[in-house]
Amino acid sequence: MSGLHVESTGEGPPLVLLHGWAMHGGLFAPLVPALARRYRVSVVDLPGHGHSRSLTPYTLDAIVATVAAQFPGPAGRVSILGWSFGGTVALRWAHLSPERVERLVLVCATPRFVATGDWPRAMARVTLDQFGDELKAAYRLTLHRFLSLQVQGREEGRATLAALRGQLFARGEPAPETLAAALSLLAATDLRDDARAISTPTLVVTGERDTLTPPSAGAWLAQAMGAARHVDIAGAGHAPFLSHRAAFDAAVDEFLDAR
C-alpha cells in the first residue's frame, strides 16, 4: 500500500493534478468539474500532505515513484498539471519517465526555488526559510494570508477563495517534520539540467506578480525545454487558477485540447 490519497472523476485521457507545498489537492476543486467533462481527472494529495502518508526518506525521486505508480493507464501515459511544488514533481517525473508523460502544464513552477550566483530568478534562501517558519508556527493563519495575497484585488479570486475556505483545512495540517523535509527538498533541488533534456509538449503558466516563483523563471523553463510555450497572466500572483480563472482556463484548454 502506497498510502497515497487520490480522488478520480470523469472520463477520457488521464490528467493528474499535483498541488503546492504545505497544501492539498482540494485547492483544485474549482477546476475539476470542467476538466472532468473531457478527462479522467485524478487529484493527488502529495506524500505527507492532506490524506496521504509521508515517506522516509522524503526525496523527490521517492515522491515521483510513489505518485507515478498509481497511474499505469491503458497505454501507460498521462498528462500532468503541477502547481509550484507539484510542478517540481511533474518536471522530475517527465525527466525520469518521458515515455509515460503525454503533456505537461507547469503552473508557477521553477527548476530552482532558491537564488544562487548563476540563478537570480528566485527568492533568497532566507525568504523561503522564513515562510517555512511562519507555517510551522501558525499554519492556518499563514496559509490564509498566503492565499489572500494571491487573489488580492480580484472579485473572481476573492469569491473562489471564500468558497474554498470551508475545505482548505478539511484534510488537517501537514506534520511539522513533513513541512521541514519538503522545504529542505525544495531548497536543495535544481532541475535545470532535467528541464533542458525534456521534450514533452509543455505549457508554462506564470503570474505577472508572482514573487515566490518569478515569471522570469517560467520564461527560462519554456526556453530551455524542447517543446514548451509560456503564458504569463497579467496581474496574477502565485495561484492564477484561483485569481484569474478565465485567462488560466483559456490557456490550459487550448493547450490540452491541441493534438
3-state secondary structure at position 61:
helix
User: What structural domains does the chain harbor?
Assistant: 5-257 (3.40.50.1820)
Range with lowest mean pLDDT among 59-63, 177-181, 188-192: 177-181
Q: At residue 250, does pLDDT exceed 60?
A: yes
What dihedral angle (degrees, nearest 10) is formed by the CA atoms of 3, 8, 12, 16?
Answer: -60
Name the catalytic one among 42, 238, 243, 244. Answer: 238
Per-residue pLDDT, averaged over 81-100, amounts to 96
- In the chain, the percentage of residues whose pLDDT exceeds 90 is 67
- From 42, 52, 79, 84, active-site residue: 84
Query: What is the C-alpha separation between 187 and 28, in angstroms, rounded?
Result: 25
Question: Can you list the alpha helix ranges (DSSP code H) found in the chain?
Answer: 32-36, 60-68, 85-96, 125-137, 139-150, 155-168, 176-188, 192-197, 215-224, 240-243, 245-257
Report how far Cα 134 is from the mean position of its chain's Cα atoms. 21
Q: How far apart are CA 173 and CA 135, in angstroms?
A: 10
SS3 at position 235: coil
- The catalytic residue among 210, 230, 232, 244 is 210
- 210 given a catalytic annotation: yes
Share of the chain above pLDDT 70, in %: 92
pLDDT at 1: 47
Q: How confident is the model at residue 147 (pLDDT cuts 50, 70, 90)?
A: confident
Per the annotation, the verdict on 84 as an active-site residue is yes
Mean pLDDT of 106-112: 98
pTM of the model: 0.94
Q: Cell numbers at residue 201, please?
A: 509538449
Query: 134 and 179 in contact (C-beta within 8 Å)?
Result: no
Taking 60 as the threshold, does the pLDDT of residue 200 lie above it?
yes
CB of 101 within 8 A of CB of 199? no
Considering only CA atoms, give the Rg of the chain.
17
